Amino acid sequence: MFDDLPPDLPRLRTLETWLALTLDRVRKQITTLERQEQERQHGEQARPPEPDWLIEYGLNRDAIPNAVHVGWCRMAGKRSKPTDSDTARRAIAGGVTACGFCRPDSELGILDG
């Protein structure tokens, strides 16, 4: 029948126990990975949309804007707040620095003067 299995009952029972324990571990790992994947997908779906524009502010409480970024820019600091294109345009026109990495001035159609 099956030549690769032990010929006696005690070793077959041991093998059966080992396989049952191993199958239990595999099923638990599958459950864990499925839960993690569901959480990851939920996180992606629940993530708020990326803003179109960001204005980055300085350190102090009454901080003034110190840079304008495109919404996807990873150079924007943690003190950045979403804004609309008109506000971003006015900020650059008013002297706020346009990020040299994401170039919001080019994206907004503001020509270097």
**Which tens digits make up the pLDDT trace of 34-48?**
999 999 999 999 988
The β-bridge relationship of strands 65-70 and 80-83 is: unpaired
pTM for this structure? 0.61
Say what the alpha-carbon torsion angle 32, 33, 34, 35 is, to the nearest 10 degrees: 50
Binned at pLDDT 50, 70 and 90, residue 111 comes out as low
Cβ(54)–Cβ(83) below 8 Å: yes
pLDDT over threshold 90, residue 90: yes
pLDDT exceeding 70 applies to what percent of the chain?
96
20: helix, coil or strand?
Answer: helix
